[in-house]
Amino acid sequence: MAAVKVGHASIFRKLRANIIGMIHLPASPGTPGFSGSVNDILLKAAREAAIYKHAGVDSVLIENMHDIPYLHSSAVGPEVVSVMTAAASVVRSVFSHAPVGVQILAGANQQALAVALAAGLDFIRAEGFVYSHVADEGIMDACAGPLLRYRRHIGAQNIAVFTDIKKKHSAHSITSDVSIAETARAAEFFRSDGVIVTGKQHGTACRRRRTYGCVECGKNPGFRGIGRDTRELPSVQSRDRPNYWLPISKRTTIGHGTLTKAFLRTLWTR
């Protein structure tokens, strides 16, 4: 079975039902929720990466989930980028056998590419790739042109760019005449390496028809970018279509507490 590839770089070893575990970092220095130390952030990232590795999860994604309220990409500072790079390097060293990705909120896609390149990661998750929308951080414009030129500029062509379309926590009335399938085709035309479909907000289930429709309308992989809990796994895994992404989110499955091995064991007993 062929792998997902970007250029000559293999990303996922199998074609469907990949499970990507979320590593939601504690709040970064300078954000309202920051407490403790940078070392605490790195230790937590390493611990969760090890748990995911032991559980056999296919991939992990690092995200600055707790940097709320989020800043627009142009205002994301070097203190965030530096911590994300350090955390990404730690996770990469632990989770060395499988793909690792990064997302920097909100919409800091070029910064994420730089982090991925420095830490040897495999992919980023990008917001606002095609079509503008109104997010809770403000207006987000399409960024495909500048982002992929930046990827070329820094020599990161083998890092995949997976892109949200009609993303959560956003208003899309200005593109209400453009369907999600049309948006997926536009993202593919603009060289997205795969599209991500979500529910309306964090913790809400994504309708399967939205995901499957996007996958079937293009050649690129489609990812189901959010889910409530492990009850959604059987329907995703049993569907014989390529590359469904059901990230495991601590916030939506076991609250804001600590990721546990016991929780992850439920993935393989369903």
Section 52-74 average pLDDT: 93
Find, among 148, 178, 150, 153, the residue nearest to 166 by Cα: 178
Q: Are 248 and 224 in contact (CB under 8 A)?
A: no
Q: Are 25 and 105 in contact (CB under 8 A)?
A: no
114: its two tokens: 């730089």
Q: What share of the chain is helix, strand, coil (3-state, %, to 5)?
A: 40, 15, 45
The pTM for the full model equals: 0.84
CA 97, 223, 188: angle at the middle one, nearest 5? 110
pLDDT in tens, 242-252: 444 445 544 43
pLDDT in tens, 120-136: 999 999 999 999 888 88
Tell me the CA distances in angstroms from 260 to 51, 192, 246, one per residue in order.
7, 34, 18
Q: In this structure, which topology does domain 5-268 adopt according to CATH? A: TIM Barrel (3.20.20)
